[in-house]
Structure 1
Amino acid sequence: MQLGQIRQSSPLDPSKILLLLIIYALLWFGTLNYRHLIPSDEGRYAEMAREMLVTGDWVTPRYNGYKYFEKPPLQVWANAATFQVFGIGEWQARLWTALTGFLTILATAYTGTRIYSARAGWLAAVVLASSPMWVISGHFNSLDMGLSAFLVAALCSLLLAQTSHNKASSRNWMWSCWVFMALATLSKGLIGAAIPAMVFIAYSISVWDWKIWTRLRLFSGTIIYLLITSPWFVMVAQRNPEFLEFFFIHEHFQRFTQDAHSRTGPISYFVPLLLIGALPWILQIPGAITQAWQERRREFSSGWLLVCWFAIIFAFFSVSHSKLPGYIIPIFPALALLIGNRLDHLLGSTNSMALPWKLQTLGFALLGIFGFFFLDAIGKQARPDEIEAYAQYTYWVIAALIALISFSAFAALQSKRNGLQSIVSFASGFFLCAIIAGTGHETLGRAVSGIDLANRVKASIPGNVNFYSVRLLDHTMPFYLGRTMIMVEDPDELLFGVNQQPEIWLPTLDAFIARWKEDQTAYAIMVPEQYVALQGTNLPMQEVDRDSRRVIVKHPDNANTTQ
């Protein structure tokens, strides 16, 4: 960002920007290790990286010891490399998502500065940095943030390439776009190239500009794309001939057109997620889109391309048969750029915000106050063993609401006198609200993670024994125990893997019972209800330990009676 330009257009000093950036970075990265991993994504991708590091096989991804080809391995590679350098742990497992999310905020600022103005770029960064869904996703170990970061990097590169007046610069940015599309593909599959293609087709149709395709460096860009993506696809297919059909047909075509993954939802599924994800700025979206429409030009319109990016991604996943909240994360940086430009326009040369902005900030302050009347609803769905945890989480929610109310009220006071400071204050309140509420989730997530049970039993379980997972795929215990498990009867999402390696799983409970009687040193994990059912069959088991969700058993010691 060109800090000197900001000094000329607003009272915000570059040194203050740097200070805010340092504080933000400390809060962003400093909270990574507070929470333990929760199922399913966090545990899954941490365990896959641990197994990759332990086995030394960086080509064939495995989960719980079974082949796992649902997604390409870029994030697993990154996590495994992080484990190699910094050791195995929670913050290490989240570092990739946190880093890609943070750098995307900076990339959004830089792009906004180049295509709009320095102040618009700064405001775009502020908008994205305070969008609740972006903040939460940046602290959650899933593939969606890494994919979004590279997709947005491709979008930013494209914008910079098309707005550059220097031929060499335009070419280099366009090549960068192809590099980032390749990295997006290695993050989560062909969607890394499909989304930019769909957006650009929609843009070309909506403005009826087809000459722009001649500036995309299609031939050299395709070569760059294939040079980056092809090596892994070729190597994994050579080692695993079953990969190609499963990955390209099952994980792409069928995921979009069929309900096989049980991730369905109504066409309106993403509407509330959009409202919550961009909550502080939701009222600015209509004006931002209208302004982009009014500013569109025949030669190239950055704003209208951003609108197409938002609309196509939102519509594409809304009609898809597979829906998960993280699918729409790539839209938020595009919205941030549009809203940043809108806020810059509203500030004008007076650096003050009009009455609607003041009413908006006061409205959210009142909304925070209103939230105190619903605190007793937090624990209504709690299980008996979770009541205390929900009570503790209430204090985190109170702290989040206080931050929201305080900063929103201050933003209202500053709206006329210092509009830019008002916007930053308002954004700070929402960032703190999201980071406090998300970090405090540890009070609820700790029991789900199984960390306490794992810590109690890990040292007592020999390293060379078989460990069975009975009708259960626990996504966090393999990581925390540092061992894979033999699946019994219900492989869950490991169905493809057990079909490829039938010799290392037990397809029926009867097969497990027979194996258990022979395997005198074995351990097993199951839900409490399954433990009670097996007790009824007089299967020789000794309870090692349990929590509210799991029971770990072994063969009874010779001196003990069967439990």
Structure 2
Amino acid sequence: MTQRGVRLLLALLAIAWFGTLGVRPLYKADESRYAEIPREMVASGDWITPRLNGFKYFEKPPLQYWTTAVFFKAFEVEDWAARMWTALTGFAGLFLVLAAGKRLFGPPTGLYAAAVLAGSPLYVMLGQINTLDMGLTFFLCGAVFAFALGHMFLFWAACALATLSKGLIGIVLPFGTIALYMLIKRDWGLTRQMRIVPGSILFLMIAAPWFIAVSLANDEFLRFFFIQEHFQRFTTEMHGRAHPAWYFLPILAAGMAPWLLPLGAAWFRSLRDKTQGFDPLLFLGLWALVVLAFFSASGSKLPSYILPMFPPLALLIGRSLAALDARRVLVAQCALLAVAGLALAVLAPRLAASYASYVPWLVAAGLWLVVTSVAAWRRSIPACVGLLALGGFGATQIALIGHRTLAAEFSAAPTVAALPAPPPAAASVFAVDAYDHSIAWSLRRTVSLVGYKDELGQAIGWEPQKFIPVLPGFARAWSAAPEAYAFFAARDFERLRAELALPMQVAARGPRYVIVRKP
């Protein structure tokens, strides 16, 4: 392909990657949480103590909060801006893999690896959703690639930024991989190359200032962050996210669906082939294995946790495609993906039985996989890889765009938008026995919680004066407020309205919430 063709392809990819960030609202839980915290940073001017709906929130470090707050200040407080850091680090990750592949194995490997990553559904999806995992993945993989290439100061800096992204796994995972590699290869001389003393100083210069500042400002931070959110989160089931040890295997299979057969060949090659001196194939294979083993052993599991596996796996697959005659494997992969796409299209009404409006989008995603797989059949290796990547990328984008049809099921935004006018700044707003973070985000303001704690339970214990624990307290606050609005869960609204017997008018109604105002 000519340079002009490559530039055109990159431009189209960038348009598709960034152009859809605002087509659906931020959903409850993670997306709204990680938008609301930086919104409150901008509103309060306090960039040291993260707050969520007005309460201290110490579960994660602040790097993504800071970058998102910068986007809010530079542009506007909107859904697309909240997703921008995730999108930028995900898009940059493609170039990181491209560059690492070219340096470690040669240009063909870099190009194939970038295509593999761009066509991996889980990677594409998490590059479009506002969570912390893509930023973490970018810096973790930057650290691993820097180490493999011998750039030790970049390695330490990337570890520090990974730590500021999601905590101590920013150093645990890279050092676990390095230790395992040295143990297998008996290459203890690597420790001398790591520049441990100056590297540690650089790490602390980048990562330590915020931890020191937030600890000085908040006595609760150290125990909560390091003991509860790291040690207890890993060793117990405190968050109710316990799953069997094999939990991530089907997620990995679905998340890398266009490359399952090449992945098997690449994994076998990484463990079989022996190299004198530093062995990048073994190192990358161990990196992916350490990530999988670490989170499989954890008492808290979510699908996005294994995202840091994907860049090294993409490089292993890219190397395998570039070094071997992969035609037979790719032909079999095309057939497998076509069958999977057809199954998705046929089973969509069953898979999304509760969400009829989403079924056509799943059907379209499945048919797109079929079309691209058939088109890739018996093409040259570069053309086949490109079409498989297009299949994975396109199907994921179709599924994501279609998810906007479910906005009212997963976000308060459509119900808030149905209000005749937003609540005035002086009005009191309550969430009664039900809440998710899309409420505060959609209103662009904090609300008073009544009887509902969920993940804010410990923070409420630190600042109990901000919480209304029982309905009689809400009744008094409602009666005293000159102007007031309240959110109720739609399923509980009639019961609570009868129990409270307060003057209220329905202002907006949706599948999740009913919004009332004081007449």
Q: Give the TM bin, normalised by the shorter chain.
A: over 0.9
| Cα pair 1:68 1:496 within 8 Å, conserved | no
Is residue 543 from structure 1 mapped to residue 506 from structure 2 by the alignment? yes
Q: Which residue of 2 aligns with 1:498?
A: 460
Q: Which moved more, 1:469-478 or 1:218-227?
A: 469-478
What's the CA shift for 1:446?
Answer: 4.2
Is residue 363 from structure 1 mapped to residue 327 from structure 2 by the alignment? no
Separation in structure 2 between the aligned mates of residue 53 and residue 110 of structure 1, nearest angstrom: 35
Is residue 512 from structure 1 mapped to residue 474 from structure 2 by the alignment? yes
Q: For 1:154-553, what aligned pairs fall within 5 Å after superposition?
A: 154-161=143-150, 173-347=151-325, 353-382=326-355, 390-391=356-357, 393-414=358-379, 418-457=380-419, 459-537=421-499, 538-553=501-516
Q: 2:117 aligns with which of 128, 135, 141?
A: 128
What's the CA shift for 1:460?
Answer: 4.4
Separation in structure 1 between the aligned mates of residue 517 and residue 12 of structure 2, nearest angstrom: 49
Deviations 1:284-317 (A, max 9, x none): 2232122222333352111111111111110111
What's the CA shift for 1:141?
Answer: 0.2
Q: Which structure 2 residue ranges, 5 or more long, are not aligned?
A: none
Q: Which moved more, 1:398-407 or 1:70-79?
A: 398-407
What's the CA shift for 1:509?
Answer: 2.6
| Cα pair 1:467 1:524 within 8 Å, conserved | yes
Q: Which residue of 1 aligns with 2:43?
A: 54
- Going from structure 1 to structure 2, the CA distance change for 1:370 and 1:515 (only over 3 Å counts) comes to closer
| Cα pair 2:86 2:134 within 8 Å, conserved | yes
| Cα pair 2:261 2:329 within 8 Å, conserved | no
Q: Which residue of 2 aligns with 1:167?
A: none
What's the CA shift for 1:13?
Answer: 3.5
Separation in structure 1 between the aligned mates of residue 405 and residue 273 of structure 2, nearest angstrom: 48
Q: Which moved more, 1:362-371 or 1:321-330?
A: 362-371
Separation in structure 2 between the aligned mates of residue 240 and residue 200 of structure 1, nearest angstrom: 35
| Cα pair 1:400 1:437 within 8 Å, conserved | yes
Deviations 1:334-358 (A, max 9, x none): 10000100011124xxxxx433321
What's the CA shift for 1:419?
Answer: 1.7
| Cα pair 2:262 2:329 within 8 Å, conserved | no
SS at match of 1:476: helix
Separation in structure 2 between the aligned mates of residue 372 and residue 501 of structure 1, nearest angstrom: 50
Q: Which residue of 2 aligns with 1:117?
A: 106
Deviations 1:246-281 (A, max 9, x none): 111111000001111111111111111111111111
Q: Highest Rg: 1 or 2?
A: 1
| Cα pair 2:269 2:320 within 8 Å, conserved | yes
Separation in structure 2 between the aligned mates of residue 341 and residue 307 of structure 1, nearest angstrom: 12
AA at the equivalent of 1:465: A
Is residue 64 from structure 1 mapped to residue 53 from structure 2 by the alignment? yes
Separation in structure 2 between the aligned mates of residue 184 and residue 434 of structure 1, nearest angstrom: 26
Separation in structure 2 between the aligned mates of residue 141 and residue 251 of structure 1, nearest angstrom: 20
What's the CA shift for 1:447?
Answer: 3.8
Separation in structure 2 between the aligned mates of residue 256 and residue 88 of structure 1, nearest angstrom: 34
AA at the equivalent of 1:281: W
| Cα pair 2:26 2:438 within 8 Å, conserved | yes
- Going from structure 1 to structure 2, the CA distance change for 1:517 and 1:480 (only over 3 Å counts) comes to same
Deviations 1:500-552 (A, max 9, x none): 11111112233223333333422211212332222222233322222111111
| Cα pair 1:35 1:446 within 8 Å, conserved | no
Deviations 1:96-126 (A, max 9, x none): 0000001011010100000001101110101
| Cα pair 2:132 2:165 within 8 Å, conserved | yes
SS at match of 1:478: helix
**Runs of 4 or more above 6 Å deviation:** none
Separation in structure 1 between the aligned mates of residue 507 and residue 113 of structure 2, nearest angstrom: 53
AA at the equivalent of 1:498: I
| Cα pair 2:75 2:81 within 8 Å, conserved | yes
Deviations 1:414-435 (A, max 9, x none): 1xxx221121112111111111
Deviations 1:220-248 (A, max 9, x none): 11001100111111111111111111111
Q: For 1:91-110, what aligned pairs fall within 5 Å after superposition?
A: 91-110=80-99
Separation in structure 1 between the aligned mates of residue 343 and residue 481 of structure 2, nearest angstrom: 59
| Cα pair 2:136 2:170 within 8 Å, conserved | yes
Separation in structure 2 between the aligned mates of residue 213 and residue 78 of structure 1, nearest angstrom: 33
What's the CA shift for 1:445?
Answer: 2.8
| Cα pair 1:75 1:146 within 8 Å, conserved | yes
What's the CA shift for 1:94?
Answer: 0.5
- Going from structure 1 to structure 2, the CA distance change for 1:370 and 1:261 (only over 3 Å counts) comes to closer
Q: Which residue of 2 aligns with 1:13?
A: 2
AA at the equivalent of 1:376: P
What's the CA shift for 1:378?
Answer: 4.2
- Going from structure 1 to structure 2, the CA distance change for 1:460 and 1:116 (only over 3 Å counts) comes to closer
| Cα pair 2:343 2:366 within 8 Å, conserved | no
| Cα pair 1:44 1:475 within 8 Å, conserved | yes
What's the CA shift for 1:332?
Answer: 0.3
Q: Which moved more, 1:506-515 or 1:278-287?
A: 506-515
SS at match of 1:268: coil
Q: Which structure 1 residue ranges, 5 or more long, are not aligned?
A: 1-11, 162-172, 348-352, 383-389, 558-563
| Cα pair 1:295 1:301 within 8 Å, conserved | no
What's the CA shift for 1:368?
Answer: 2.2
Q: 1:80 aligns with which of 61, 69, 79?
A: 69
Separation in structure 1 between the aligned mates of residue 270 and residue 5 of structure 2, nearest angstrom: 30
Separation in structure 2 between the aligned mates of residue 447 and residue 490 of structure 1, nearest angstrom: 20
| Cα pair 2:376 2:388 within 8 Å, conserved | yes
AA at the equivalent of 1:121: G
- TM-score normalised by structure 1 residue count: 0.89
Separation in structure 2 between the aligned mates of residue 460 and residue 13 of structure 1, nearest angstrom: 53
- TM-score normalised by structure 2 residue count: 0.96
| Cα pair 1:36 1:449 within 8 Å, conserved | yes
Separation in structure 1 between the aligned mates of residue 337 and residue 482 of structure 2, nearest angstrom: 62
